[in-house]
Structure 1
């Protein structure tokens, strides 16, 4: 059996490199320089896999994929390629039925691994409910997720794949990693996008009040219930209910939620008649639910009902390559809000932010940038503007929820350690050259030498 691959890219050198590598691996390849040419070759060539560039003139990769999936009959597994992808590009490609998504410049070994997996897929022309989006679906939604690290790419792929289904999703991760943003991305990319998305913080509302808020109540159900009230399950009918901090639910509410997931009906407080609801549940937690199950604080059967599609949000310290993107995003956001659109971070401030471990994750970084923009008297955001807020965040409750504790030392010591690491990293990048390092950090050479002496930093010049 032939293992055919169609390589679609407007750059000839990219097609040649891929073709040479894949032919050596035993595949048959054919090249197309445009989306139009690729679609024209499909019927005659009938490839099992298509490597498709996202950015091409005229018919781009996304529109090519869209037209490909609207065709009748067998279709190849599509692997998207781009050097300029965004979070929305990844999610949109996966939502439209792409098998995977790789970024340029790519590792040819990685490409061959992805192709091998794609070759194992069943005929992608078969109906599966997610391969043929209807024409009225929106495909130009605004981007609101920032970060293109490998860890976040995997999250975006899951969001794109799961958005078209009604499967229950459990988003897990430390506080501040952006779990609600992922829930909103799933809803926004789903057929329920025009219906409500209702978020509920299960840990912030007392049990009795939360029960009445979720399920509603009949007139006379309790003192003060002077009229019937719909609950949030009914209000979200046809849409999505986002249950944040679901690990904080009490045992009785866990039982009621399990019943909703099993029967797709609710009963109002004081009522007897079941009311059908069409609600997609997306839950999130920063708790280790398996540990809570062992402690008999969370029902195992509910866990499996919620954990149909798990999404694990990486902490910021594990995707530090996203920090520059996040910094630019938050600078632009708060620069506009405060009328300081020309503000920027000094190189020394950037080094400090990159060296910090961010126990409060993206939310802590955002708060730090917002405060720094407000405090800065001029366009430059200096280390003292950044450090002032990091010190106040030492006892931040959200950071404590993440399960990571600050060391029991004065914050001054912690900041000095961060500064020492930033200077050491800068020296290593500049191969010990003091003048270039000082310029990178935005300080004078004498100030650098003073800091090196104070912190006993010894990096020899190469």
Structure 2
């Protein structure tokens, strides 16, 4: 026989207790009502509850303190915080302390209140069944390609993210490079009420300040050289949807000021514009740097930080969730393997052991690249240790054997990229568009990393290059991409055919007619 659900209501306003009693008693629920922390403690000691509706502010205590007490003595009791509009930030923090959700007073939508209580009751029952691995967010995660895994820390994080998703508030995601910050952002978008609206992402660290401003806010025709037409920015394109600002800690102070204005007013100016443009976007920002430390060093605005940090999620590095590596490898095999070439290869036990024992400084992104590389190198039957990078298997490269001191001249394997391109170039022809774009982005990241390091070391043999060299390289690459088609190349470069011919002649670039 199923036990009758029991609900505890804790609020110092007597009408609130009366409202819940009338609403829930007709459903057959047992109701307990307390108007203070003292009464609540007495009821909690006497009876077991499935759900507790707790007011954030009480005369003799606060909702956070009661939440912590309830989760200590009755861990399976799901707590819903009731809050006024002015205390939303505190209510959000309550979720991070273990609250199931929060709801704002006054209760304008009775159906929403009933649905929230039903959802909390169902979740409470699920938690009590350790063997049940299905969660309310499972389908959404699968749609996003979000591999949550089985780590309790990740399950708790995603469960919290699902609850926050329906709240139209800003989110800050913190995590090391490659931990999946953008995938989590997409999950929050898909689980939100904006799921049918645009999700757009921009890397604040990948563009110089002048280009970033134009990308974010757009520009008016004639606002700068080359601005031949009016262009909408990402804030305008993402209207009513979600905007993901990756590497927000890399944004310049000037851009931070303009971002703050948008968050405060919901308005912005296009570059060169005078008329404010309204926008309604949800901001999800991500960073792998300590923004609080950046605030202390005056490299990040404190007011913007608090605007973004309404709720924060910290993604654990892969080394802290190694029990998920096997399932992640299986996922990447399905993603990268071309099934037309034959049966799916298996990872040999020694190979999987090497993956489990490696420390993964590049996290999930590095694991994805490793699986893709191994599938390209294997013989279509099994992935063996020799198909993995030496840094993963622990094998000693020949160059390192010749340099027993391990000096600076020892060359890194760089994840096998050089060997991969030299030996497996034909594999590129077998890749679909998604995989090619994925690989191209990884190569771009490597290029930018090389550029930064060479700049720090003062290496000028390859960088920096002149504007003329950049222009010539762009023309050559574009012509090669379009197989010598002058019209398509000129259109892609944003110049006329005659201009392309003139510049090709100027840079001694051969154009076949």
TM over 0.5, shorter chain: yes
Q: CA–CA distance in 2 between the matches of 1:42 and 1:368? A: 58
Matching residue of 2:227: 225
Matching residue of 1:235: 237
Q: CA deviation at 1:44?
A: 2.6
Matched, 1:185 2:187: yes
Q: CA–CA distance in 2 between the matches of 1:381 and 1:139? A: 30
Higher relative contact order, chain-length normalized (CA < 8 Å, sep 6+): 1
1:185-223 deviation digits (Å, cap 9, x = unpaired): 001111111111011011111110110111111222222
1:377-426 deviation digits (Å, cap 9, x = unpaired): 1411111112357489x9xxxxxxxxxxx99796999x9xxxxxxxxxxx
Matching residue of 2:303: 301
Q: CA deviation at 1:258?
A: 0.7
Matching residue of 2:157: 155
Against the structure 1 CA distance between its residues 338 and 361, is the aligned structure 2 distance closer, same or farther, given a 3 Å change threshold? farther
Question: Retained in 1: the 8 A contact 2:209–2:252?
Answer: yes
What secondary structure does 1:43 align onto? coil
What secondary structure does 1:44 align onto? coil
What secondary structure does 1:241 align onto? strand
Comparing 354-363 and 285-294, the one that deviates more: 285-294
Structure 1, unpaired ranges of 5+: 8-39, 49-74, 79-110, 395-405, 416-462
The structure having more radius of gyration, on CA atoms, is 2
Q: CA–CA distance in 2 between the matches of 1:252 and 1:391? A: 46
1:285-336 deviation digits (Å, cap 9, x = unpaired): 1111122222221111111111111010100001111111111111222224
Against the structure 1 CA distance between its residues 196 and 348, is the aligned structure 2 distance closer, same or farther, given a 3 Å change threshold? same
Q: CA deviation at 1:227?
A: 2.4
Matching residue of 1:200: 202
Against the structure 1 CA distance between its residues 274 and 372, is the aligned structure 2 distance closer, same or farther, given a 3 Å change threshold? same
1:267-416 to 2 correspondence within 5 Å?
267-336=269-338, 339-388=341-390, 390=392
The TM-score with structure 2 as length reference comes to 0.53
Question: Retained in 1: the 8 A contact 2:204–2:248?
Answer: yes
Question: Retained in 2: the 8 A contact 1:199–1:241?
Answer: yes
The TM-score with structure 1 as length reference comes to 0.59
Match of 1:118 among 77, 81, 93: 77
User: How many residues matched?
Assistant: 307
Matching residue of 2:51: 77
Question: Retained in 2: the 8 A contact 1:335–1:373?
Answer: yes
1:121-178 deviation digits (Å, cap 9, x = unpaired): 4589974887649xxxx99544422112011112201210111111110101000000
Instruction: Note the aligned Cα RMSD (angstroms).
Output: 3.8
Against the structure 1 CA distance between its residues 369 and 139, is the aligned structure 2 distance closer, same or farther, given a 3 Å change threshold? closer
Against the structure 1 CA distance between its residues 371 and 294, is the aligned structure 2 distance closer, same or farther, given a 3 Å change threshold? same
Match of 1:250 among 234, 249, 252: 252
